[in-house]
A and B are shown apart, each in its own frame.
Chain A
């Protein structure tokens, strides 16, 4: 089955030169934002904040950077529904995966612990 001639219905339909120029301007703005956020990440780490605060700030900045890459460089902002369905499912499993260590953090505190074995002396 050949579809090589079907260029009028391809993925690039609707991308005129002005459209691409607009894309390029956005890429440059995102690049600058990513550089600034990288400097922010390193600068904040120099303040030696407490671990919970440092982790929160670092992950927040990393999430913003990741979102910029995904939305603009990977074109997620204008992607089709099917891709979002795939990513939604992935995100759900990813959250479960990351939640597992949190659930086991207290070494299984929700698991009923067996009662300590009674000694012979206690029996008597």
Chain B
């Protein structure tokens, strides 16, 4: 049995089911990160002292990672645009670049975490590091999840392009929506944790 409304739009919603599904999922993600941001505000405002992010974290590394994630968002949307132009080869290049940039982000994060753990700055070290590891750790899990899905569409999942190009293009658009959301969360995490 085929999955309904993967390509055609539903008359009642004006959308295909995948699009509604991913946006509902992103709405739940907003609440998840929203709860953690609210916790951050509560802990910070309730604390007698709070370090400026750039006095304990390396804001230059985080700035570099911000540039990496923004660039990956552009390559992601260009991958989708390539499919819309029916240029599968170009799609592969852009999607491959997106996955690689995700890998660069994780590599930088690895060095960042290693440095702090080496200094004994574990989550139990202070309220600042507890919320820092929680927020960046959860965000990192999202980057890994997005990379897995994007790598699938770059590799084995791309077989769908031959059978049903429109459905494949929709799938790439939906995984792109998730990837842009991950970028959007980082846009707020970056100044909150590293600069303020």
Q: Show the binding face of A for B, using Cβ within 8 Å.
A: 1-4, 6-7, 9-12, 15, 17, 20, 23-24, 27-28, 30-31, 34-35, 38, 41-42, 45, 51, 54-55, 58-59, 61-62, 65-66, 69-70, 73-74, 80-83, 86-87, 89-90, 93-94, 97-98, 100-102, 104-105
Contact = CB atoms under 8 A, between A and B. Distances in A.
B7 interface: yes
Given A98-B41, A105-B45, A4 B67 contact: no
A73 B2 contact: no
A5 B183 CA distance: 35
Nearest to B84: A20
Interface string B32-73: 001101110110011000000010000100010011001101
B169 interface: yes
Contact of B74 (A23, A31, A81): A31
Contacts, number: 156
B164 A66 contact: no
Contacts of B9: 9-11
Report whether over half of chain B's contact residues are helix, strand or loop; otherwise say mixed: helix
B8 interface: yes
Given A4-B167, A10-B166, A35-B67, A101 B45 contact: yes
B77 interface: yes
Contacts of A101: 38-39, 41-42, 45
